[in-house]
Amino acid sequence: MTVQQSLSPELVARLRGLDLKARLVVEGFLTGLHKSPYHGFSVEFAEYRPYMPGDEPKRIDWKALARSDRYYVKEFEEETNLKAYLLLDTSASMGYRRGGAPGKLEYGACLAAALAYLLLHQHDAAGLVAFDDRIRSYLPPRSRRSHWHQLVAALERLQAGGATRFGPVFAELAGRVRRRGLIVLISDLWDGWRDVVAALRHFRHLKHEVLVFHVLDRDEIEFPFERDAVFRDLERGDELPVSPAAGRAYRLRVRDWRGSLARECRRHAIDYVPLDTATPFDRALLQYLHKRQRLG
C-alpha cells in the first residue's frame, strides 16, 4: 500500500471534522483558529530569507541577488499562517519490522501524510524534513492544497538508512526556521535521550510549539524473543548476543526510557505521544487529535 492509499476515504472524512490548533502563540494570520501576535490581515512584505531547494524561482528577489550575489526570496504576511514542519526520522533503525506490522518508516510516512492533509485542509502551511545524521530531504512549508501531492511523492521516495544524530540536524534546521510555528517530530528516538530532549528544548527556546510522535515496533517494547540470539545494531553494525533471560531487564529499561522522555517533554511543554506500529496509524492519530481537542 502506498502512502497516498493509506488515507482511506473514511479517514479523510474524519480528518475534515477535526483541527490541529496551535496552543501557543504562533506568528500567523489564520483568523479564528490560531492565536497570533499580529492583528488584522495584509499582504505586506514580511522578511527576506535564503533561497532553499523547493522554493519557486519566481519568488527570488533579483535586486537582492544583484546587491549581495546571494539568492533570497521574499515572504509576505499573507503566507505566514501557522507553519508546520514535519520532521521524519529516516535513519536505519526506522527500517525495522517483523511480522505483519508496517515498518516504522512506513508508519511514520503515513502519519506525516495524514497530518499534512489536516494542516493544509485548515489552510495552514506544511513542510517536510527527512533526516538521519543530516537533512536528506527538505520541502519548505506551503499552504496550497496541491502541495500535499508533492509531500506524498517525497514521502514515498524515502528509504531508511544512516545513523541518528539529532543535535546537528536540529541545530541546522533551527537556523532555517525563522518564524514561530509547529515542529512535529516523528521518530523512534533511538539516540541518547538527553541529546533528544536538548535538541527539542532548542526549538522551544525559539518559541516553537513542539509535538513528538515516538514510534516503536512492539518487539522493541515487549522483547518477545524466546531463544538465544545475536542482535545487530542497524545503524552501527555492532552485534550483541542476548538470551531471553535479559528480556525483563530490557523491558524495564525501555519503560524507564519512555517515562524519562515523557517527563522531560511535559517539563518543557512538549507534547509527547508514544506509539507502536501494531496500532493502526489512523486510529492512533484520531485518538490523539480527539484528546488534544478535549484538553484545549
Dihedral sign, CA of 45, 47, 53, 54? negative
Output the pLDDT for position 234: 83
72-76 and 45-50 strand pairing: antiparallel
Q: Which three cell numbers stand for residue 131?
A: 533526516
Q: 131 near 168, Cβ under 8 Å?
A: no
The CATH number corresponding to 3-36+81-295 among 3.10.150.10, 3.30.70.60, 3.30.2310.20, 3.40.50.410 equals 3.40.50.410
Best CA proximity match to 139, nearest among 209, 85, 79: 85
From the list 30, 39, 120, 84, the residue with the least C-alpha distance to 209 is: 84
Dist. CA 49–CA 58, nearest whole Å: 14
Position 146, amino acid: S
Query: Which residues does 96 contact at the CB level (< 8 Å), separation at least 6?
Result: 103, 104, 217, 219, 220, 234
Rounded distance, CA 218 to CA 54, Å?
Answer: 36
pLDDT per position as a tens digit, 94-124 = 999 887 788 999 999 999 999 999 888 888 8
In this predicted structure, what is the pLDDT of residue 19? 66
Report the distance separating Cα 250 and Cα 262, nearest Å.
18
Please identify every stretch of the chain with a pLDDT value under 70, giving residue numbers as ranges. 1, 18-19, 21-47, 53-55, 75-80, 295-296
Count of CB atoms situated within 10 Å of the CB of 238: 9
Nearest C-alpha neighbor of 51 from the set 29, 73, 79, 33: 73
Q: What is the pLDDT of residue 9?
A: 80
Global model pTM greater than 0.75:
yes
The per-residue pLDDT for 138 is 93
Confidence (pLDDT) at 77? 46
Give the whole-angstrom CA distance, residue 127 versus residue 83: 8
Query: What confidence score (pLDDT) does residue 36 get?
Result: 46
pLDDT, residue 192, reads 80
What DSSP letter does each residue of the chain carry, written as one string? --HHHHS-HHHHHHHHT-----SS--S---TTTS--S--S----EEEEEE--TTS-GGGB-HHHHHHHSS-EEEEEGGG-S-EEEEEEE-SGGGG---TTSPPHHHHHHHHHHHHHHHHHHTT-EEEEEEESSSEEEEEEEE--TTHHHHHHHHHHH----S---HHHHHHHHHHH--S--EEEEEE---S-HHHHHHHHHHHHHTT-EEEEEEEE-HHHHH----S-EEEE-TTT--EEEE-GGGHHHHHHHHHHHHHHHHHHHHHTT-EEEEEETTS-HHHHHHHHHHHHHHH-
Q: What is the C-alpha separation between 88 and 215, in angstroms, rounded?
A: 11
